[in-house]
Amino acid sequence: MSAFDILFRPGHEIAADVRARRISAREVTEAALDAIEALDGKLNAFTDVTAERAIEEANRVDAAMIEGKSLPLAGVPYAVKNLFDIEGVVTRAGSKINRDNAPATADASLVTQMQKAGAVLIGGVNMGEYAYDFTGENVHDGASLNPHDPARMSGGSSGGSGTAVASGMVALSLGSDTNGSIRVPSSFCGLYGLKPTFGRLSRARTFPFVASLDHLGPIARSPRDLAAAFNALQFPDPDDRHQLAQRPLDVERALGTGISGLRIAVAGGYFRDQAGSEALAAVEHVAKALGASQEVTLPEVHRARAAAYVITTSESSALHLQRLQTRAGDYDPDTRDRFLSGAMVPAAWYMAAQRFRTWFRAEMEHLFETVDVILAPATPFPALLSGTKEVELAGNRVPARPNIGIFAQPISFIGLPVVAVPVWPAGTHLPIGVQVIAPAWREDIALRVAEALHQAGATAAPVAPL
């Protein structure tokens, strides 16, 4: 069986074969390492390959299978955005400055959870500097490239995660999403991505960006793989003071319940007016497949995006103030300037943004009394050519980088759970994502809709060549 045959199956099928001992975890791991050797020089997903650790983990999984243990993610190869701590590896967070730090002394909590579930860590992957990016372009490590068209962006800031999964080097990756950094690479690379409810999953031992907006979650090639990973990642962690106490959801079981009775609506207004033709076609395609005809308007969503920017730039610049004072020349100039501008935001603006956030959250809670799911574009257009500086949106030429995330930011702003689902508009080789947005703490609903689309073939993904 070739590396292609092993790795391009869904992760849950790999795990089933390892549990049944039709294939060993070591064979899967060696296939992943071979794929990285063959592909990563062209696509630049990985910054740290933990080959020795991966083989050791795979051997432990195989031993557990001989003992008759059942691990839900047995032998599934995965990667993590390099802001997750990996014991013995320096946590880069996409930066030059962090490389002077000592290696991490322990794994991030979610890495530990994946290991307990039997997944095999292959390494850390490329990302935008300090997660302040939507493109996947990193001046220190180079850009992570889009497997569907290497001349195009992978999306950011979890760009290496998108590249690694879409190319088949791994079955899963863990990323972070502050303003869209899971959903953007999922959209550009044709993947499923889950941004859970804010506070659901532990962020312990990961490098922060914006404390009140950061989320962690999985990226995969199927909703069932997202569900399996999400089940494994839910646990109460005393090491994370931002985590909110909630009973875990068995989202894998929920996938089998279908979508009968769900009230599904399409976001109009801002989400329609700012979208390009491919994004509109993708939402229409998904809505038709789900039989959704109702349209809803999210209140003052343009202000939500603006307020999210104020909070993002204010909180992140405060985190980086000392580094800006001592090592400004070691930043990507674009990242540095965004942090410096945030340091000058008046406190009154930040307070106004937080007050608006409370109002917007309450308005969205009222809206979810009338619907169960809202569909919206994940990005306003498919993957851009690398180096693109300007795009046209709603008839205006605007900077490309900040406007890639215009549809993701208002949802992150109040921490709602979202699954990005991939669509290939007719006549193009480039995917684009649709957001399936659910009420707080109802990741199960968003995943049920994603699985229904997947089963119906509405989001069937062309395979990137290995």
* Active site residues per annotation: 81, 157, 181
Integer Cα distance of 122 and 57 in angstroms = 10
Amino acid at site 343: A
Q: Are 291 and 400 in contact (CB under 8 A)?
A: no
Q: How far is CA 340 from CA 313, 316, 435, in A?
A: 9, 10, 32
Q: Which residues pair with 434 in a beta bridge?
A: 377, 421
Quick one: which of 366, 372, 340, 9 has its CA closest to 168? 9
Integer Cα distance of 180 and 366 in angstroms = 24
Q: Are 179 and 213 in contact (CB under 8 A)?
A: yes
Quick one: which of 314, 335, 302, 315 has its CA closest to 403? 302
Place of tokens 């204010």: 314
Kind and range of the H or E element at 66? helix 51-66
Q: Which residues pair with 77 in a beta bridge?
A: 120
Q: Which two tokens stand for residue 431?
A: 């995917």
Q: How far is CA 193 from CA 69, 78, 169, 175, 437, in A?
A: 29, 14, 17, 9, 12
Which SS3 state, helix, strand or coil, does residue 322 take? helix
Backbone phi, then psi, for 296, in 5-degree steps?
-125, 155
Integer Cα distance of 200 and 185 in angstroms = 21
Q: Which two tokens stand for residue 26?
A: 């070591």
Integer Cα distance of 113 and 236 in angstroms = 11
CB contact set of 42 (below 8 Å; sequence gap of 6+): 145, 150
Integer Cα distance of 278 and 409 in angstroms = 20
Tally of residues, the chain? 466
Reported as half-sphere exposure (CB side, CA atoms, 13 A), residue 144 has a value of 33
Which SS3 state, helix, strand or coil, does residue 297 take? coil
Which SS3 state, helix, strand or coil, does residue 157 take? coil
Integer Cα distance of 345 and 307 in angstroms = 12
